[in-house]
Amino acid sequence: KNEVEQSPQNLTAQEGEFITINCSYSVGISALHWLQQHPGGGIVSLFMLSSGKKKHGRLIATINIQEKHSSLHITASHPRDSAVYICAVPDDKIIFGKGTRLHILP
Amino acid sequence: SAVISQKPSRDICQRGTSLTIQCQVDSQVTMMFWYRQQPGQSLTLIATANQGSEATYESGFVIDKFPISRPNLTFSTLTVSNMSPEDSSIYLCSVEDKRGTGELFFGEGSRLTVL
């Protein structure tokens, strides 16, 4: 069974800072998901990637298949980026990390 | 893509009562997934709901406690029965775009507090 670890668990930063959230997994995968969970509980998909890098606005996701590691970066962070960020990998079912709680201060 | 409408968004319930959560998807999907997220924890799969057959429950979850209905390819309900404070969680439904991108889609979540 794949094990998914995220770091840091909690992160507080000032508006404008560059943010990095890390995710590592134990078994090779076909793809990895980055999700964003808002305070109300709803979850939206940010990225699904199987290699290289993807960019959407101020968000960048990278994955290194050999090292079994992925990172989510946020450039020019803003208070509205405050949320829980979750990485997830498919196994016989989806395995979710515990999430990184991000708080951006104005 | 898929848009999932989930309700209720939140509720406060008394011990011993039951609550039914509904999820409506804007497209037909074969499987719908129900998750529980206890405070500070990651998502845990409760069961997979298939249209026309019994739901498949994960270890630690039973049909008597979490009965699921799946009357058609766009709708499912999860009931949390005989609730106790330990059932206070966020419950989410989800689908996967298996025929396309593999992307995951989630409902808005139902935050239950059991007193």
Pairing of strands B19-25, B4-7: antiparallel
Could you tell me which residues come within 8 angstroms of residue A41 by beta carbon, excluding any fewer than 6 positions away? B9, B37, B90, B92, B108, B109, B110, B111
Rg (CA), chain A: 13
Q: What DSSP state is assigned to residue B3?
A: -
Number of CB atoms found within 10 A of residue A61's CB: 23
> Are A82 and A15 within 8 A, CB to CB?
no
Given this model, what pLDDT does residue A23 score?
A: 97
- Taking only the tens of pLDDT, chain A with its 106 residues reads 888 999 999 999 999 999 999 999 998 888 999 999 998 888 999 999 999 999 999 999 999 999 999 999 999 999 999 999 999 998 888 999 999 999 999 9
Rounded CA separation A63/A69 (Å): 6
First and final C-alpha spacing in chain B: 37
Given this model, what pLDDT does residue A82 score?
A: 97
Residues of chain B contacting A86 with CB distance shorter than 8 Å: 42-43
Q: Closest Cα of chain A to B74: distance in Å?
A: 19
Q: Closest Cα of chain B to A14: distance in Å?
A: 23
Given this model, what pLDDT does residue B96 score?
A: 87
Given this model, what pLDDT does residue B99 score?
A: 67
From A41, A96, A97, residue closest to B111, measured CB to CB: A41
How many Cβ pairs within 8 Å bridge chains A and B?
53
DSSP run (H or E) holding B60: none
Best CA proximity match to A99, nearest among A88, A86, A83: A86
Which pair of tokens denotes residue B74?
A: 């766009």
